[in-house]
Structure 1
């Protein structure tokens, strides 16, 4: 049985879940979300383009925050 709330298949790979990687590396909000979208690219939908574009969006937000002198999350 699939558990789409606690352990969605599109966030799993080789025994790891995206949340495990995010927590292990202590990623902040923007980098965590970018990582999540990269890791699920091509798994939730057939075309990975949308997930990769969303990851880039989060990475750009991360860089914009650093450029403005704000602490990166």
Structure 2
């Protein structure tokens, strides 16, 4: 495989990571789309890139960003569960 366009750690699960990101971010916009895309990216390449703990921690960081965005949206719209 081409190490620049198709590195193994982004193709090893049988579907190109970019395709998985496209599916998971469909309908999302702005920062939310970016956070979801990064979550998928880091979970996808875990553990194939050789930095499993780092990849999981990065995925968690972007999940925390996404959670914070949702909390802000709920406060702005007065939605409380």
TM range (shorter): 0.7 to 0.9
Gaps of 5+ in 2: 75-81
Structure number having the greater strand percentage: 1
Instruction: Give the TM-score, by structure 1 length.
Output: 0.79
Structure number having the greater helix percentage: 2
RMSD: 1.8
Residues in 2 aligned to 1:51 and 1:5: alpha-carbon distance in whole angstroms: 19
Gaps of 5+ in 1: none
After the TM superposition, which segments of 4 or more aligned residues of structure 1 sit over 6 Å from their partners?
none
Aligned pairs, number: 68
Instruction: Give the TM-score, by structure 2 length.
Output: 0.73
